[in-house]
Amino acid sequence: MNEERVAFNRRRFFECLSAMGLGSTLMPDALTIAAQDSETVTVEMIEIAQKIAGVSFTREEQQSIVTRLNATRGYMAGFDFLRTANLGNSTQPAIVFNPVPPGKALPAGPRFLNRREPVVSRPSTEEALAFLPVTHLAKLVETRQVTPSELTDLYLARLTKYDPTLHCVVSLTAALARAQAKQADAEIAAGAYRGPLHGIPFGLKDLFAVRGTRTTWGASPYKDQVIDTDATAYTRLREAGAILVAKLSSGALALGARWFGGVTRNPWNTQQDAAGSSAGPGSATAAGLVAFSIGSDTGGSIISPSTRNGLTGMRPTFGRVSRYGAMALAWTQDTVGPMCRSAEDCALVFNAIYGPDGKDNTVLDVPFGWDSTADVTRLRVGYLRSAFGDAPAGQTSPQAATRRNNEEALRVIRGLGVQVVPFDLPDVAIEAIDFIRYAETAAAFDDLTRSGRLREVEQGPEQSSRPAEIRPARFIPAVEYIQANRYRMRVMEQMDEAMSGLDLFIGANLTLTNRTGQPVLSLPNGFFEGSPTGLQLTGKLFGEPELLLLAHAFQSRTDHHLKHPSL
């Protein structure tokens, strides 16, 4: 007879004794409690649970534990309260992650954006107009060669035409967009030009709340959810005059490219998905359905779709952009960033959305100053050895093609006069910190789990594997969660030391840097069988200006970012 059956029979025996009034004299105290309340913790439960926690206690110590857990004002009472506290997804934890190691000063300096103004004429076709970078569209709007309403109608038409193929639109915000465009038309005609995003249509990943629109998080249980708030990223873009034309698809609960409306497709190759949970922004921006978009990233969800769809996308330093109004996945790792057609576009969008808002208590007040004309040769640049080197002869895989394209990109960067040195990342036990995000995700969706509706995400049209991550995370011990964050501090210090002589390095380790907070940028660096490959750059903390400068210089010598798919 197995142990589980023995424990069950033992419990039933003592329950019978209790029913006869004998339990109080014959049963251990913890089992007496178990007979009175089936939800009470027992010694047998502790015996099993201590295996997960990696500890071993004597029977007497186990008895002491259950007494403390089951006391009137003990742990279990506190747990019971929390389970009915309706914390939802939006309540921030009191503990705040700061990616800056102790003793390291925050960068200081002026806030500025210095760039060369392009000379642009309106293209002869609507197709060409749709694929222009924001820098060019902005000049056309500013010089009144095109109106915000014309651009809005163009992108709304393209969203309607191509979404049946790409499955990237959750909600077309046509009425809202036309009202915003009409306002922009009037302001610009009156000479009240707000800047380079004024009148520019954009898309927002459907994790960000906008009053009066659905915010579905890509998951069946939330497909009709309307949140009565505006996300800070949206508010700031509206203050800059940008126009929201669509809420774009997110993988269910920010995982992968599949959501309850289908699989979002790569416009370069519609047999492929668009990669990562910011798949909708990636697909729509690459296909010329919006001028730019906003994504979110916890484990690569800006960088992966930017790479696959041939975009320039930037995951900023943790704590740079407010997550207020966005779905929480992992409070100590979630970031918000731009997905655009060029590095300069990313600089314009990032400049509009970064900085404290008084609502997200992780955001640090660090200025952003970017000069597109700065001397790129002054950058201290490394290259990640593991991302370079000749691909084995005869290999024709995407990985081999990426490696070859990386080598060519390195040649271009050296041709800019940039000195590049080999670089290695510290050796880190990723498995010791990787589960941090799963514990936080389980907390973020505790209500969904307890309601039983987590199964809908697994069994619904999205067929998400997120529930398979959430369930085991319920058994991550609190002590190990704290220990993992202590080890995380050691890893942050190792990363800071490793990068002490560099501004950035060419290459990336997203699993590592998503936990240490460094910014990463992906930009197209070539093609393989008609689909883009991406070069990734990783910066020091708050090193967005350096990342954008090198990317902009690279794009001034190459035309990969100017190519677009033929739909």
Q: Which domain CATH number covers 161?
A: 3.90.1300.10
CA 150 to chain CA centroid, Å, is: 32
pLDDT of residue 391: 60
Distance, in Å, from the CA atom of 25 to the CA atom of 107, rounded to the nearest integer, reads: 68
So what's the pLDDT on residue 394?
A: 62
**Which structure tokens are listed for 272?**
């492929």
Residue for token digits 């914390």?
A: 87
Do 77 and 133 reside in the same domain of the chain?
no
Average pLDDT over residues 161-175: 98
* Residue 476 falls inside a structural domain: no
Q: Are residues 381 and 253 in the same domain?
A: yes
Which tens digits make up the pLDDT trace of 307-330? 999 999 999 999 999 999 999 999
CA distance 234 to 356: 14
Same domain, yes or no: 54 and 161: no
How far apart are alpha carbons 266 and 280 in whole angstroms? 9
CA atoms of 510 and 536, how far apart (whole Å): 10
420 and 330: one domain?
yes
pTM above 0.75, yes or no: yes
> How many domains does the chain contain in total?
2
Average pLDDT over residues 545-555: 98
- Would you call 301 a catalytic residue per the annotation? yes
Q: Which of 547, 551, 541 is nearest to 107 (CA)?
A: 541
Q: Within this chain, do residues 204 and 315 fall inside the same structural domain, yes or no?
A: yes
Has residue 351 been placed in a domain? Answer: yes
pLDDT tens digits, one per residue of 471-485: 999 999 999 999 999
Instruction: Say whether pLDDT at 402 is over 60.
Output: yes
Give the residue from 82, 103, 121 where a domain finishes.
Answer: 82
The question of whether 182 is a catalytic residue gets the answer no
pLDDT tens by residue, 338-353: 999 999 999 999 999 9
Which of the listed residues 30, 61, 82 is the one where a domain comes to its end?
82
Q: Is residue 405 part of a domain?
A: yes
Residue 529 reports pLDDT greater than 70? yes
Residue 74 has what pLDDT?
A: 83
Report yes or no on 454 lying in a domain: no
Asked if residue 338 is part of any domain, the answer here is yes
pLDDT bucket at 467, cuts 50 / 70 / 90? very high
Helices 466-473 and 431-444, axial angle in degrees (round to 10):
100
Q: What is the DSSP string of 154-202?
A: HHHHHHHHHHHHH--EEEE-HHHHHHHHHHHHHHHHTT----TTTT-EE
Using DSSP, state whether 208 is helix, strand or coil.
strand
Judged by average pLDDT, the poorest of 80-94, 292-306, 384-398, 536-550 is 384-398
In a domain, 96, yes or no: no
Catalytic status, residue 64? no
Of 270, 271, 274, the C-alpha closest to 258 is: 274
In whole angstroms, give the CA distance from residue 25 to residue 17. Answer: 9
pLDDT band (50, 70, 90) for residue 388: confident
Question: Side chain identity at 366, as an amino acid letter?
Answer: V
- Do 17 and 141 lie in one domain? The reply is no
What is the pLDDT, as a whole number, of residue 40? 85
Confidence of residue 192 (pLDDT cuts 50, 70, 90): very high
Q: What is the pLDDT of residues 21-59, one digit of tens each?
A: 433 333 344 333 333 444 688 999 999 999 888 999 999
How far CA 179 is from CA of 199, 207, 237, 392, in Å, comes to 11, 23, 15, 56
- Do 390 and 531 lie in one domain? The reply is yes
Q: Is residue 241 part of a domain?
A: yes
Indicate if 513 and 381 belong to the same structural domain.
yes
Grade residue 417 by pLDDT with cuts at 50, 70 and 90: very high
- Asked if 69 and 117 sit in the same domain, the reply is no
| Per annotation, catalytic residue among 278, 301, 464, 522 | 301
Q: Mean pLDDT, to the nearest integer, of 4-21?
A: 44
Residue 206 has which token pair? 């459907």
Mean pLDDT of the chain: 92
455 within some domain: no
* Cα atoms in the 13 Å half-sphere on the side-chain side of 153: 7
Phi, psi angle pair for 370, to nearest 5°: -135, 130
Same structural domain, 278 and 318: yes
Q: Say yes or no: 220 and 300 in one domain.
A: yes
pLDDT higher than 90, residue 387:
no
Same domain, 242 and 323: yes
From 171, 277, 306, 322, the catalytic residue:
277
Which residue range(s) make up the domain with 78? 3-82
Residue 541: exposed, middle, or buried by beta-carbon count in 10 A (0-12, 13-18, 19+)?
buried
Cα 439 to chain center, whole Å? 16
- Considering only residues 161 and 83, tell me which one the structure prediction assigns the higher pLDDT: 161
